[in-house]
Amino acid sequence: MIKFIILFAWLVIFIAIIVPTYKIHHLIKFYKNEGNDAKVEALNTSQNWFYTLIVIASLGGVGIVYLFLKGTIWEGHFFEWLNLAVRWMHITFGIAWIGASFYFVFLENALNRTKDVRDELAGNLWAVHGGGFYYLEKYKLAPKKIPKDLHWFKYEAYFTWLSGFCLLMIVYYFNASSILIDPEVLDIKASTAITISVSSLIIGWVGYDQICKHLSRDKIVFTLAITAWVFFWAWFYCQVFSGRGAYIHFGSLLGTLMAANVFFVIIPGQKRMVKAARQGLQPNPKDGKDAFIRSYTNNYFTLPVLFVMISNHFPSTFGNSSQWIVLIAITLGSAGIKHYLNLREKEQLSIWVMPISVLLLLAVALMTAPAKPKYEDCKEMVSFVEIQTIINNRCTSCHSENPTDLIWKVAPNGVKYDTPDQIYGLRDKIFQRTVVSKNMPFNNNQTGMTQEERDMINCWINQGAPK
Ligand code: HEC
């Protein structure tokens, strides 16, 4: 009964938010036509508040659906679709954000600064895209008159962060004991893990912010300090969370730094600059410089963050016994590649940056390769029937056409081991997950696979996987 009262109350509130939002939308259009700027600006502010309310109310709506489905057979399905929806949003916002960021870095680097540039300009650029020709100009400072319609780039960043944090909750906080925590790394309670997770994002930002404020004079000192700080976290996370959880936290931390840079430094600075320019004052150059430092580090964080976001498909990285070294090496290598691209756009040739970065990444690929076959450890030939028995006992509760597992009602990732052909066809993946990274059976070895069984799979593969 109480559920239905909550649902009804929510519906009333939702309608009470939606109706004025439409009204405001029409009023803005009306006053824009009239040319009443003051009214338009005031309405824009209230429109933003109403949009925020819609987001909050929608989240409340999701919570209410959960209330209805909790404990039913659809609870798992609910989380799957929630995961899907939020992940979809997250990558869409992320693409918009990083795309815009790459685009502006490209503009900055590729600007024509010498030929036919008016005095007040820093440079200009011609481009052709989508069947149209574009001509852009960058001002040295602000233009004499700030145009009415000035485009800002900030919501991409905020929504990427918000959706990312929701995803962290849905995937890692709700399943903390099976995905985030690995008792062999550190045996902690779910609440402890979540506390560590949230506070690390805050402390990570505060430390980074201090480095930017106090150590940014000397480029080398600054780069070393930022590198040391983020690598400390790469190491730290691997000491407290499962490999996969540690990697995603490293990415979440970098993403948090990037979004917080936009929220706390870049956008407020830009607002002050626009305000000064509107009053006919000279903008404070410090605002521009601070924003530059933040965009500069954001730029180098992009490729490492993108790696982390796809890393959970690659257990040879996070499942490695020295996972934090792998993480740091991949971060360095990918930031190096970004550095090379930055130099190239500025038409500065660098001979060593790219080869060293690529070599570093190749070294990681080598380092994470499975150990060489050890025939001498295998006393007897392992037959396929023995392998099939192991798989039937330990894997098919989830990986089957008809899983018997309580949570996994559909074969995870579509991987099924019902027939010999299915097992045989996926033998390299079986080897990867049970012997190399040892993160199957899922959920902290839920079906209790023994080391002996892992050794048998290892031997079978090394004996050429006879069928
Ligand atoms: C409790 C359920 C469960 C059991 C038992 C289980 N798995 Fe999984 N498996 C999962 C889930 C969930 C995923 C997807 C998440 C992931 O990739 O880590 C998965 C993914 C995989 C993948 C990756 C497939 C791909 O294409 O990315 C492989 C390979 C795999 N499991 C093999 C095994 C083997 C071999 C066993 C038995 C030794 C096993 N699993 C037992 C739940 C299970």
Q: CB count, 10 Å around CB of 283?
A: 17
Say how far apart CA 174 and CA 179 lie, in whole Å. Answer: 9
pLDDT at position 262, please? 96
pLDDT at position 374, please? 59
Residue 386 has pLDDT above 80, yes or no: yes
Say how far apart CA 239 and CA 186 lie, in whole Å. Answer: 7
Contact 340, 357 (CB under 8 A): yes
Give 259's pLDDT tier (boundaries 50, 70, 90): very high
Nearest-atom number in ligand 1 for the CA of 447 is 5
Could you tell me if the CB of 429 is within 6 A of ligand 1? yes
pLDDT at position 372, please? 62
Say how far apart CA 276 and CA 273 lie, in whole Å. Answer: 5
Mean pLDDT calculated for residue range 297-324: 91
Percentage of the chain modeled with pLDDT above 90: 65
Mean pLDDT calculated for residue range 68-87: 90
Q: Give the tens place of pLDDT for each residue, 355-375.
A: 999 999 999 999 988 766 555
Residue 164 has pLDDT above 60, yes or no: yes
Residue minimizing CA distance to atom 31 of ligand 1: 440
Count of residues making up the chain: 467
Mutate to test the pocket of ligand 1, among 413, 418, 430, 456 (most ligand atoms within 8 A of CB): 413
Could you tell me if the CB of 412 is within 6 A of ligand 1? yes
Say how far apart CA 109 and CA 348 lie, in whole Å. Answer: 10
Q: Give the tens place of pLDDT for each residue, 97-153.
A: 999 988 988 888 889 999 989 988 999 999 999 999 999 999 887 888 888 788 999
| Higher pLDDT among residues 321 and 333, named by residue | 333
Nearest-atom number in ligand 1 for the CA of 441 is 41
Q: Under 8 Å CB-to-CB from 154, ≥6 apart: which residues?
A: 262, 263, 267
Could you tell me if the CB of 395 is within 6 A of ligand 1? yes
pLDDT at position 420, please? 92
Could you tell me if the CB of 433 is within 6 A of ligand 1? yes
Q: Give the tens place of pLDDT for each residue, 186-229.
A: 999 999 999 999 999 999 999 999 999 999 999 999 999 999 99
The one-letter amino acid code at 224 reads L
